[in-house]
Amino acid sequence: MLEALLRLQRHLVENPSRGRSYEILSFMVKTGLARPDCTEKLTFEAKTLLAGCGTAVEQEMDPKTWVPSISILRRALCLAQVACFEQRLQLGYQPGGGRGNVSLYWLELESEGGLAQAAENPSPIVLYRRSANGTIRPSLVARLFLRDGEMRNLSARGLTFLSSILLSSALWIAMLGMMLLNLALRDGPITMGSLITLCLTLVGFVFIWREVYSPWFRVIDDCVVKAPHWVSAFKEVNCELEMFRHEKYRWTRLVRFSADCPICGSNIELQSGKPDQNPPLVGRCVESPHAHVYSFDRMTLRGVYLGPTMASLKDY
């Protein structure tokens, strides 16, 4: 048991992966090795795994929701152990049920049934998580209108901001038109300086339009778009803008959609569908963004596999 734990720990250190499943495995291995007797069975509750691996924001989540499914954890454990003649580890699981009965997880030496368990094909369906309201911190500028990370569109604050976006985008287009007209009416032949000025003007216009104005127009039709970098705080990465209806009003909020990859156990983030997918947003595994690709449904928080033909685990 000790040798198997040390081999798994060494592999996780030498091959770091971004994913909740691998963080949980590292925590279980580290805790198991810290005991005087590593051969004794050590069980973990979901709340223990959350307390040991979750961030400060995630500590408020339901532990049963935070911990990935047992199939994803077993998949990650299988991929984290290189093929060898020595006996490997498997993940034991006892589902909870009823009052006072909690789910338990533990590491143990692989039994004969472990090989069949590890050879199961991964599920083609992923379950997305939506971050709680106020979890994603807006930037100092965005806090003026996205108080606590959200705003009601028809409130005074929302109307002021949306009107400013509409007015400033119109002024931005007018400025581009004036600069192009000025270049067109300039006397004399076209010079290299004029061409450089034209190129810089067009590149600057496209960049500002995509980063500042375009997401606020697209979110009306798409409901979910990638948030501009200037809207979220510096430490907040990979978050989205979501427009939704609550009771009689429409709201806009900063949110993050994520999931656990059923193929490798890493994190799934929403990214652009281009160039290999048709939908505007798809779920991409951070460790294999072009092979482990999934659709995204905002209402059901589910997605199906969109990547290339998926081999069984025996072929990996």
Q: Is the pLDDT of residue 225 over 90?
A: yes
Residues contacting residue 195 through CB under 8 Å, at least 6 positions apart: none
pLDDT (mean) for 175-184: 77
Does residue 314 have a pLDDT over 50?
no
Please choose, from the candidates 35, 23, 34, the residue with its C-alpha nearest in 3D space to the C-alpha of residue 77.
23
CA separation for the pair 75, 27 (Å, rounded) = 17
Average pLDDT over residues 14-22: 85
DSSP string, the chain: -HHHHHHHHHHHHHS---SHHHHHHHHHHHHHHTSS-TTS--EEEHHHHHHHH--TTGGGS-HHHHSPPHHHHHHHHHHTS---SS--EEEEEE---STT---EEEEEE--HHHHHHHTSPPPSEEE-EEPPTT-SPBPTTGGGTSGGGEEETTSHHHHHHHHHHHHHHHHHHHHHHHHHHHHHT-SS---HHHHHHHHHHHHHHHHHIIIIIHHHHHHHHHSEEEPPTTTB-TT--S-EEEEEEETTEEEEEEE-EEEE-TTT--EEEEEE-TTT-SSSEEEEESSSTTTSEE--BTTTTEEEB-SSPPPPGGG-
pLDDT at 4 exceeding the cut of 70? yes
The residues with which 125 forms a beta bridge, in sequence order, are 304
Average pLDDT over residues 36-47: 81
Per-residue pLDDT at 128: 94
Over 60: is that where the pLDDT of 312 sits?
A: no
Enter the pTM of the model: 0.78
Do the beta carbons of residue 92 and residue 102 sit within 8 Å?
Answer: no
Q: How far apart are CA 85 and CA 80, in angstroms?
A: 15
How high does pLDDT run on average in the chain?
A: 83
User: Is there a contact between 132 and 239 (Cβ–Cβ < 8 Å)?
Assistant: no
Q: What is the mean pLDDT of residues 2-11?
A: 84
Nearest-5° angle of CA 249, CA 230, CA 173?
A: 80
What does residue 140 show for φ and ψ, rounded to 5 degrees?
Answer: -60, -40
Q: In what order do the strands lie in the sheet with 224-226?
A: 150-152, 249-255, 240-246, 224-226
Distance (Å, rounded) from C-alpha 55 to C-alpha 132? 14
Q: Looking at the predicted structure, is the pLDDT value of residue 182 above 70?
A: yes
* pLDDT over 90, % of the chain: 20
Q: How confident is the model at residue 202 (pLDDT cuts 50, 70, 90)?
A: confident
Q: Which residues contact 111 (CB under 8 A, 6 or more apart)?
A: 90
**Do 259 and 283 form a contact (C-beta atoms < 8 A)?**
yes
Residue 85 pLDDT: 62
Say what the pLDDT of residue 33 is: 86
pLDDT score for 144: 86
Q: What is the pLDDT of residue 115?
A: 47
Compute the average pLDDT of residues 36-50. 83
Other Cβ atoms closer than 10 A to 52: 15
Query: Is the confidence at residue 118, as pLDDT, over 70?
Result: no
pLDDT of residue 98: 66
pLDDT for the residue 316: 45
pLDDT in tens, 230-283: 888 888 888 999 999 887 888 999 999 999 998 888 999 999 998 889 899 999
Residues 68-85, mean pLDDT to the nearest whole number: 82
Mean pLDDT (whole number) for 213-238: 88
What are the angstrom distances between the C-alpha of 260 and each of 71, 173, 266, 270?
11, 42, 6, 12
For the residues 109-130, what does the mean pLDDT come to? 69
Residue 122 is predicted with a pLDDT of 66
